[in-house]
A and B are shown apart, each in its own frame.
Chain A
């Protein structure tokens, strides 16, 4: 029996930043490479390709995922959101404003992944303590800021959202 030749690429379809997309994905390419190379989503930053630094974090079906630890072909049928999509939809506008005002970024390389991780935390609601915030972003390395400004910006956003929710409820 002749062994089946390895399938080097596959056609996939998924929802990317609210748009329905299809492409041929190399079976060995990780999702980060696919998003950058096929779709020009250069906000997905590759820092370590070991799943440690968090710079490539995106949302897959609403959960923060290291796009370097997932194969591109595994995106088939999922919903993927990157910092570009979150920006366009306005979902993290308040968080981005808080980062800007607080200077919670320097070189900007960790920033997209940091925002995605923070967005996931913020969507859980409530007003997380600084300790909880620090824990939630511990999978996202930042070499520039020392983290404090990032914690401040996330904390500010959480408090503002909480206040807005309470106001809406009253």
Chain B
């Protein structure tokens, strides 16, 4: 509640909950966005990187003399040369006990550990000239044995990628809750499955990009960066380039997709900044698509063997799982590559009531591209494992999969409570969401339709997936482990003389609509028309300090900061107006850009008049009155480590049992992100997330050969979902606001990706049920389906 008796929803001229279009979308529609590659810079130089052709090799020698003589070349740098400017890092955090990695350099020194690892750089007047000169660098390698398959990475005979570590185990976590073995022994039914999750990556349409400009005279390194967390990058640049905090400015304007890909520290990007320092001029790096596939973080690559115990009448009793994941040769800095496996342990089976749970996760090193946090980190794996087992159990018990879920979810009236893995749940709505989904998809009619089609030899399937999602992380996510990643965010709002409002925020925009919802919140909180609000984000010099936008935190955390700042500014403004109007501040309000009588709503003074007096005729103000038309507020969730959300998805598919092709007919999602600030934006976040989840379920796969060579590093070979094969998606919401903030918003950015793969794979298996065939390996390509059917 907003403290003045009105909730944000009742405030006059509230924009909250309305489907207003994003103010910043118009320029993108006119081709006038400013992505990093569009930023002009005088004396701009371009860098291209020489990348390892081997999965693992010692660099015996590098001869750069010929390259230096090539036309247009400004400088050539090897790993050793760059290391004099940029210090190495190690991607570990204190709260992942035992997590190990090795020092990683911006450009590899002496040894390369994956195909695509950069180890030399050429700076030239154009990117083309830099690439021409790459071919003139002479390198002698001594290939080393490569650890490619995560399944054998821990074998005693497998060489340790980093000999100092002794073996390739980077991290292990074992969680055991209750007497799991007894629960399994006493169960009426135990089902077991091994699930495989292919490696995939984000494929942001705008590749990773950075433009670093060291102005020696100013002592300022200005970095235009396509990223999600500019303050984090700022801090890390200071640390590894030995610069003071005031010597760096990170700007992050339009970002062409990120999805977690652009929240990590990348060697080539650090090298670009170091090269600018070395050359005292702007240097730009824009990854080409092959570089993106080889050097953007990958994700997933898990193998999970799991079993679930049921009672005879369908109670889930226990879950036992073993997760193995390969993360490449280094744990990625600074968030580490242990998070996904850790999330799998925390989340698997999270919607359900069982009290016995055992999960082991092992995170192993291998000579492939590093993996790290990508949209819905761990969620698609956790959801697939539990939901796959639930469907198996339902089939074995002869129970309807909907009914089995209804029976087992944590009831809506049980909150707050603690989930089996120890996660603290404030308020979820599984039962309401299931009921809403059932009605929305007309479940019974769809089952009847499926049966009718089956009689005609057409194999359709219905798949369900209930899930929980981690949003609004507190310092428990990274800060407690020693990562200098802010979990608090801020908003500064300034009222200008004509009644215009400028809001600068530390959360960032990558297309979700962050600036849009901030404008809605600020307009509502202050009491001005939305078109008077200009939002500034993505500039470490002019916005408050904060974390940025990741882990579904922009609306819930940044939005609350904006709400509090807006309320504070309104109170300041009303106090000054009251003094001028000789009225009680309690009797006044700010609405639609004017000071009004709170009871009648009649205008007492337009903001432009107030602004004129305050800024240009302060001499006429009552003595002792100092107006403050700027307000800043920060927010961090404190009551719960995370604001969990929940939802349930359903997929309806048709499987061609001769070709193995899967046609997506329809998809539904009901989710609960608390207060829906803008239904238009939330629904499109959900839909986009679902399609990314479908990508991982059916198409996307980073394929490697046994030598660790990436086989499909182009968009022609790596498949992503296209418009023609995607279904229409119906989205609905249950609204359980979090009581930890006034606006009550939780996150929504990852819910779609969390549940979609499990829904689709369960639907495929439902379609295949008459054949006693099952798929459990993603992506479910036609080949996987045909294998399951025993046809190949």
Contact = CB atoms under 8 A, between A and B. Distances in A.
A101 interface: yes
A130 B727 CA distance: 11
Interface stretch (B203-211, B411-419, B522-530): B203-211
A50 B718 CA distance: 12
Contact of B512 (A106, A139, A148): A106
A45 B511 contact: no
Chain A at the B interface: SS class: loop
Contact of B726 (A41, A46, A82, A148): A148
B732 interface: no
A115 B29 contact: yes
A47 B29 contact: no
Contacts of B289: 47-50
Contact of B255 (A52, A83, A107): A107
B206 A109 contact: yes
Interface stretch (B144-152, B622-630, B680-688): B680-688
Nearest to A43: B31
Interface in B717-762: 720-726, 728-729, 752
B43 interface: no
B511 A147 contact: no
Interface string B31-52: 1111101100000000000000
Contacts of A148: 687, 726, 728-729
A75 interface: no
Contacts of A96: 26, 29-30
B691 A49 contact: no
Contact of A103 (B21, B207, B724): B21
B510 interface: yes
A161 interface: no
Contacts of B725: 138
Nearest to A84: B31
A146 B688 CA distance: 4
B312 interface: no
A83 B30 contact: yes
Interface string A28-51: 110000001000011111111110
B25 A100 contact: yes
Given A107-B510, A110-B205, A143-B259, A100 B687 contact: no
A138 to B, nearest CB: 4
Nearest to A26: B128
B687 A108 contact: no
A92 to B, nearest CB: 9
B716 A45 contact: no
Most chain A beta-carbon neighbours within 10 Å: one of B289, B684, B689, B720: B684
B715 A134 contact: no
A41 B37 CA distance: 12
B714 A105 contact: no
Nearest to A110: B205
Contacts of B680: 102-103
B58 to A, nearest CB: 33
Q: Please tell me the size bucket of the interface on B.
A: 35 or more
Contact of B690 (A53, A55, A146): A146
Nearest to B752: A146
Interface in A86-101: 87, 96, 99-101
Interface in B590-617: none
B257 A107 contact: yes
Instruction: Please tell me the size bucket of the interface on A.
Output: 35 or more
Interface string B643-668: 00000000000000000000000000
A116 to B, nearest CB: 10
Contacts of B206: 45, 47, 107, 109
A166 B211 CA distance: 51
A150 B31 contact: no
A149 B728 CA distance: 10
Contacts of A87: 29-31
A129 interface: no
A146 B726 contact: yes
B31 A109 contact: no
A36 B33 CA distance: 13
Contact of B715 (A133, A141, A150): A141
Contacts of A150: 723
For A46, A48, A53, A108, the residue with the greatest tally of chain B CB atoms inside 10 Å of its CB is A108
Nearest to A54: B205
Given A140-B723, A145-B687, A146-B688, A105 B30 contact: no
A123 interface: no
A29 B127 CA distance: 11
Given A48-B715, A100-B25, A146-B687, A106 B513 contact: yes
Nearest to B288: A49
A53 B715 contact: yes
B517 to A, nearest CB: 12
Contacts of A72: none
Contact of A108 (B33, B288, B721): B33
Interface string B242-275: 0000000000001111110000000000000000
B22 interface: yes
B31 to A, nearest CB: 2
Given A47-B205, A106-B512, A107-B254, A141 B720 contact: yes
Contacts of B33: 42-43, 108-109
Name the residue among B29, B202, B257 with the largest chain A CB count within 10 angstroms. B29
A151 B688 contact: no
Nearest to A106: B511
B29 A99 contact: yes
A27 B721 CA distance: 34
A112 B31 contact: yes
A37 to B, nearest CB: 9
Given A48-B289, A107-B206, A144-B257, 10 more contacts: A43-B33, A45-B205, A47-B715, A106-B512, A107-B204, A134-B724, A135-B723, A141-B720, A141-B722, A149-B687
27 contacts: A28-B128, A47-B207, A47-B715, A53-B715, A55-B205, A83-B31, A84-B30, A87-B31, A96-B29, A106-B510, A106-B512, A107-B254, A107-B255, A107-B256, A108-B25, A108-B254, A109-B204, A111-B29, A115-B29, A135-B724, A138-B725, A141-B203, A143-B202, A143-B692, A146-B726, A146-B729, A148-B728
Interface of B: 21-22, 25-26, 28-35, 37-38, 128, 202-207, 254-259, 288-289, 510-513, 680-681, 684, 687-692, 714-716, 720-726, 728-729, 752
Please name the 4 residue pairs, one residue from A and one from B, whose CB atoms are nearest each other, closest first: A43-B31, A108-B28, A109-B256, A106-B511
